[in-house]
Amino acid sequence: MTPRRGMALGVLALAAFGLGQAQAQTEAAGLAPYQMVRSLQLVQDRIAGGDHAALPMQKKLLEMVDARFRNAGNDEFEDRRNFQAMMIYAMSGGNPSTIADLLSRMEIDDADRAAGAGVLGYLTGNVAQARDAMAGIDPDRYAPELAAFLALVKGSVVAGEDATAGMAMLDEARLAAPGTLVEEAALRRTIALASGAGDAEKFMSASEQYARRFLRSPYASQFAESFVSGMITLDRGKLDLRRIEQTVDWMTREQAHTVYLRLARKAAIDGDAELLAFATRHSTGDEETAPEEVDPRTELYSSISSVTSDTVENVLSRLDGLDATQLSSRDRALLTAARTVAAEVVAPVKTDAAAPLWLEDYPTEETAAPDRPLDEADELVASTRSRLEAIDKMLEETKQ
| pLDDT tens per residue, range 193-240 | 999 999 999 999 999 999 999 999 989 989 988 998 898 888 878 888
Asked if 382 and 362 count as a contact pair (C-beta separation under 8 A), the reply is: yes
User: Quick check: is 200 in a domain?
Assistant: yes
How far is residue 148's CA from residue 298's CA, in Å, rounded to a whole number?
42
Q: Is the Cβ–Cβ distance between 218 and 55 less than 8 Å? A: yes
- Within the chain, residue ranges assigned H as helices are 3-16, 21-29, 33-48, 54-70, 80-90, 96-105, 110-123, 127-134, 144-158, 163-176, 181-197, 200-213, 220-233, 241-248, 253-270, 273-284, 296-304, 312-321, 329-346, 376-397
CA gap 51, 47 in Å, rounded = 5
The answer, yes or no, to whether residue 392 has pLDDT greater than 60, is no
- Domain of residue 182 covers 178-251
CA distance 112 to 276: 51
Q: What is the pLDDT of residue 299?
A: 72
CA distance 281 to 290: 15
| Any domain includes 190 | yes
- Res. 8: pLDDT tops 80: no
Is the residue at 290 inside a domain? no
pLDDT band for position 283 (50/70/90)? confident
Name the range with the highest mean pLDDT among 12-21, 248-257, 348-357.
Answer: 248-257
Instruction: To the nearest 10°, report the CA torsion of 133, 135, 138, 139.
Output: 60
Residue pLDDT, tens place only, 327-342: 877 778 777 777 776 6
pLDDT tens-place string over residues 344-372: 666 665 555 554 444 444 444 444 445 54
Distance CA 30, CA 20 (A): 16
- Flag whether 105 is in a domain: no
- Give residue 198's region: left, alpha or beta (phi > 0; psi -120 to 50): left
Using CA atoms, how far apart are residues 252 and 216, in angstroms rounded to an integer? 10
Q: Is the pLDDT of residue 245 over 60?
A: yes
Count of domains in the chain? 1
- What percent of the chain lies above the pLDDT cut of 90? 42
Environment class of 345 (CB within 10 Å of its CB; exposed 0-12, middle 13-18, buried 19+): buried
Q: What is the pLDDT of residues 163-201, one digit of tens each?
A: 999 999 999 999 999 999 999 999 999 999 999 999 999
| Residue among 311, 299, 305 nearest 275 (CA) | 305
Identify the weakest region by mean pLDDT among 111-115, 121-125, 346-350: 346-350
Whole-number average pLDDT of the chain: 79
In a domain, 218, yes or no: yes
Residues 250 and 212: beta-carbon distance below 8 Å: yes
Query: How far is the C-alpha of 283 from the C-alpha of 295, rounded, in Å?
Result: 8
The model's pTM:
0.72
Report whether pLDDT(124) > 50.
Answer: yes
Whether residue 334 is contained in a domain is answered as: no
